[in-house]
Amino acid sequence: MGFSRNCWNWFRFLAYLLLLPHSVTPEAAEMPACGKPQQLNRIVGGENAMEAEWPWIVSIQKNGTHHCAGSLITNRWVVTAAHCFKDSVEPSQFSVLLGAWQLGNPGPRATQVGMAWVLPHPIYTWKESNRGDIALVRLDHSIKFSEHVLPICLPDSTVKLLPGTSCWIAGWGSTGDGAALPYPQTLQKLKVPIISSETCSRLYWKGAGQGAITSDMLCAGYLEGKKDACLVSSVPGLGDWSTLEGAVFSPT
């Protein structure tokens, strides 16, 4: 099966972004090492993240309210889920909050930036399926990196995550069914194992229908439930803490 011209353009554009940190430009010269926050301590067994522990996590806000999370990959680009813009892609309705740890109290180190435009993956459609549920968000101006604002690493194309591999998810979503994240809305984190596509397909078949899990998806969570990306909803990505492996959605 071949790719359409739009697909190839999207992938070429993403490849261009991957090369940005290595190009010889003034902006690239200021590009810090990705995936290396200055705060490395973690709360063992806890759910609250520490301040500056996830400096690449951003809050994509719609009309001033948290809407989705995303991952900063350069000083002007964010990766998030395409379904975040299902109802609207009008830039004036959106902004991006960077450097925030608590949404209820962002603090002076956080910065709000406008959104220039959104580039959803060309195979993603709002109605037919969840394939290609990923998008690039262009900030309306380049941002300055700091202890609280840093880019995440992007994986090599040869990287494969085997079932059982531990990954991290993070975001500001609900901590339980119908339970909104309480004030001050501290960033949440959760360590989850990768689940094989075969197991994932069997688990989701009854609720989401056959074919809900496709080849471009990764599944992670616990077979007994209670801990997964759905309980930390609107999370930006799945990865080994410092490397982004994918945007997160729930097919149910």
Q: Which residues are known catalytic residues?
A: 83, 133, 234
C-beta pairs of 200-204 under 8 Å, 24+ apart in sequence: 204/251, 204/252
For 102, half-sphere exposure in the C-beta direction (CA atoms, 13 angstrom radius) is: 12
DSSP secondary structure letters along 134-153: -EEEEESS----BTTB-PPB
Give the C-alpha separation, 80 to 118, whole Å: 10
Dig out the tokens for 88 from the structure. 């609207």
Across the chain, where does the E strand assignment appear? 57-62, 65-72, 77-80, 94-98, 111-120, 135-139, 166-171, 188-195, 219-220, 238-239, 244-246
Phi (first) and psi of residue 194, to 5 degrees: -70, 140
Helix (H, G, I), strand (E, B) or coil at 9: helix
Question: Residues 74, 151: contact at Cβ < 8 Å?
Answer: yes
C-alpha distances out from residue 245 to 65, 70, 157, 166, Å: 26, 12, 10, 12
Helix (H, G, I), strand (E, B) or coil at 82: helix
